[in-house]
Structure 1
Amino acid sequence: MHWTEALKLALQSLWVNKLRTVLTLLGVVIGVAAVISVVTLVNGANAYVDAKLNTYGSDVFTVSKMPNLITSFAEYTRYQKRRNVIAEDFRMIEAGCKRCKLVGAGQGKQVSVKSGTDSVTGVSLRGWTARMPELNNINITEGRIFTPTEVEHGARVAVVGTDIQENLLKGDDPINKEIRVDGVPYTIIGMGEKQGKTLGSSQDNYVIVPLTSYQHTYGSSKTLTIYVKGPGAGAALEETGDEVRSMMRNARHDRLGEDDSFTLDLNNTFLSLFKTVTNLFGAIAIPVAAISLIVGGIVIMNIMLVSVTERTREIGVRKALGARRRDILLQFVIESGLMATAGGIIGVLFGVAVGFGISTVAGFPMSIAWWSVAAGLFVSTGVGVFFGVYPARQAAMLDPITALRSD
Structure 2
Amino acid sequence: METKEAFRIAVQSLWANKLRSVLTLLGVVIGVASVIAVVTLINGANSYVATKINKQGADVFTISQQPAFTTSYKEYLKFQKRKVIGLDQYHAIQQGCTLCKEVGALQSTTGKIVYGTQSSTDTQIRGYTAYMPEMQNLDIAEGRSLTQSDEEHATRVCIVGSDIEENLLKFADPIGKEIRVDGVPCTIVGLGEKQGKTLGQSQDNWVAIPLTAYQKTYGTKKSVTIYAKAGSGAAAMQAASDQGRVIMRQIRHDRPGEDDSFTLETSSALAGLFSTISNYIGGVAVAIAAISLVVGGVVIMNIMLVSVTERTREIGVRKALGARRNDVLLQFLMESGTLSLIGGIFGVIGGVVVAKAVSILLGFPAEIALWSVFVGLFVALSTGVFFGVYPARKAAELDPIVALRSDF
Q: Which moved more, 1:260-269 or 1:50-59?
A: 50-59
Aligned residue in 2 for 1:170 = 170
Q: Output the amino acid matched with 2:342.
A: A
1:347 matched to 2:341: no
Give the conservation status (yes or no) of the 8 Å contact 1:178–1:187. Answer: yes
Give the conservation status (yes or no) of the 8 Å contact 1:33–1:347. Answer: yes
1:306 matched to 2:309: no
Aligned residue in 2 for 1:371 = 371
Alpha-carbon deviations, 1:129-168, whole Å to 9, x = none?
1111221232111111122112211111111111001100
Alpha-carbon deviations, 1:300-322, whole Å to 9, x = none?
11111111111111112222222
Alpha-carbon deviations, 1:151-199, whole Å to 9, x = none?
2111111111110011001111111111000111111111011100001
1:61 matched to 2:73: no
1:3-402 paired onto structure 2 within 5 Å: 3-402=3-402
How far, CA to CA, are the matches of 1:332 and 1:163 in structure 2? 60
How far, CA to CA, are the matches of 1:155 and 1:232 in structure 2? 33
SS at 2:127 equivalent: strand
Cα offset, 1:233, TM superposition: 4.1
SS at 1:111 equivalent: strand
Give the conservation status (yes or no) of the 8 Å contact 1:176–1:187. Answer: yes
Cα offset, 1:96, TM superposition: 1.7
Give the conservation status (yes or no) of the 8 Å contact 1:105–1:225. Answer: yes
Cα offset, 1:287, TM superposition: 1.8
How far, CA to CA, are the matches of 1:313 and 1:79 in structure 2? 74
Give the conservation status (yes or no) of the 8 Å contact 1:158–1:208. Answer: yes
Q: Output the amino acid matched with 2:199.
A: L
Give the conservation status (yes or no) of the 8 Å contact 1:55–1:136. Answer: no
Q: Output the amino acid matched with 1:129.
A: T
How far, CA to CA, are the matches of 1:31 and 1:320 in structure 2? 40
SS at 1:61 equivalent: strand
Cα offset, 1:262, TM superposition: 1.4
> Which 5+ residue runs of structure 2 have no aligned equivalent?
none
TM-score scaled by structure 2? 0.96
Alpha-carbon deviations, 1:333-386, whole Å to 9, x = none?
101100000001111111111111222222222222222211111011011111
Q: Output the amino acid matched with 2:67.
A: P
Give the conservation status (yes or no) of the 8 Å contact 2:65–2:85. Answer: yes
Cα separation, partners in 2 of 1:400 and 1:78, compared to 1, 3 Å: closer
How far, CA to CA, are the matches of 2:146 and 2:400 in structure 1? 90
How far, CA to CA, are the matches of 2:294 and 2:221 in structure 1? 59
SS at 1:190 equivalent: strand
Cα separation, partners in 2 of 1:339 and 1:154, compared to 1, 3 Å: same
Give the conservation status (yes or no) of the 8 Å contact 2:157–2:189. Answer: yes
How far, CA to CA, are the matches of 1:325 and 1:284 in structure 2? 42
Alpha-carbon deviations, 1:5-57, whole Å to 9, x = none?
11111111111111110011111111111111222222223223333333532
Give the conservation status (yes or no) of the 8 Å contact 2:52–2:137. Answer: no
How far, CA to CA, are the matches of 2:225 and 2:322 in structure 1? 82
Q: Which moved more, 1:383-392 or 1:394-403?
A: 394-403
Alpha-carbon deviations, 1:85-122, whole Å to 9, x = none?
11111111111211101100111110100001111111
Q: Which moved more, 1:17-26 or 1:354-363?
A: 354-363
How far, CA to CA, are the matches of 2:181 and 2:283 in structure 1? 46
SS at 1:146 equivalent: coil
SS at 1:191 equivalent: strand
Alpha-carbon deviations, 1:237-289, whole Å to 9, x = none?
12211100001111222111111121111122222222222212222221221
How far, CA to CA, are the matches of 1:45 and 1:195 in structure 2? 15
How far, CA to CA, are the matches of 1:140 and 1:268 in structure 2? 25
How far, CA to CA, are the matches of 1:125 and 1:403 in structure 2? 80
Q: Output the amino acid matched with 1:153.
A: H
Alpha-carbon deviations, 1:212-233, whole Å to 9, x = none?
1111211233211110001024
Give the conservation status (yes or no) of the 8 Å contact 2:129–2:146. Answer: no
Give the conservation status (yes or no) of the 8 Å contact 2:143–2:190. Answer: yes
How far, CA to CA, are the matches of 1:315 and 1:260 in structure 2? 75
Cα offset, 1:200, TM superposition: 0.7
